[in-house]
Amino acid sequence: MSAATLRSTYREAVKQAIREALNRDPRTFVMGEDVGAYGGCYAVTKGLLQEFGEERIRDAPLSESAFVGAGIGAAMAGMRPIVEIMTVNFSLLALDQIVNNAATIPHMSGGQFAVPVVIRMATGAGRQLAAQHSHSLEGWYAHIPGLKVLVPATLEDARGMLWSALQDPNPVLIFEHVNLYNMEGVLAADAGAVPIEGAAVRRAGRDLSIVTYGASLHKSLAAAEQLAAQGIEAEVIDLRCLRPLDDATIMASVARTRRVLIVDEGWRSGGISAEIGVRVAEQAFYDLDAPPMRLCGAEVPIPYPKHLEDAAVPQIDTIRDAAVSLVRPQGGLRE
């Protein structure tokens, strides 16, 4: 680790992004349940109340509809709010505000009103928080025109996406997987803003493309290492953004590998994996040597027991086995 880099956790990367945003722009403030005195449900905002005061770090009442609505109103009035919702499941209590107001006002006003609000929330399973705190609903929001839907999986994106999101005139939703907050890594000391559109090739390969996002990215990279030991080179695509999807990067990868496995912790039926699979079929059908394959979360509410929770979402071994079955059906060798 050089002097130009530092060790950080995903949690700390998000916190530094928030701190920089607060220092850079006096219009920026944070609002949500327990973001102040408690320091945030996942400790992302811990210490910021003491640093910036109650005007900039605002504890909100237990009403997602109320404080998300207040954030939308503040954004329309010229502020740059960062609204935190404890978990994606609780965002459903603000669905009317997000879908019927934030996403539609710029269009219904003919562009006269912008809604530059950023809404952060935790998503995903793996912390034994049971069915009302553990689902992956970001694919639902990717269905809605007028929203940008970001899914940062790396320290660089966790730190850099927020500032770019705050510059966007339209509402941006950022989904942070609960299993990533403790992830450690090396981050450039001068890490700054990153683009909030476009997928990234995180591992090059020739035999199949694994398309994924969030915590499943790191499972997919680990599975790719195991596949390499079997002579299968998987290319791993980090979507980074679910709306808009980066079709070009996905299709270019499929053209190279001729097989695609879509890994999504969300449910299979009607999920973002289905959207990606159909786009591949529409745009890259003649590049395919096999039908697109999906590996998704089990179609059940996320269980509480650890062994059942693990069984309900894709894991390294299930990703590896799905990839092998795609490249070597019935145990045969790929030609």
Catalytic residue among 33, 64, 235, 275: 64
Catalytic status, residue 12: no
**In the structure encoding, which two tokens stand for residue 217, read together?**
């990215």
Would you give the end-to-end CA distance of the chain in angstroms? 42
Structural tokens at position 50: 């003491």
Please report, as a single letter, which amino acid is at residue 225: E
Q: Name residue 155's amino acid.
A: L
Selecting among 133, 135, 177, 218, the annotated active-site residue is 133
Distance CA 189, CA 285 (A): 43
The verdict on whether 177 is a catalytic residue reads no
Residues recognised as catalytic: 64, 133
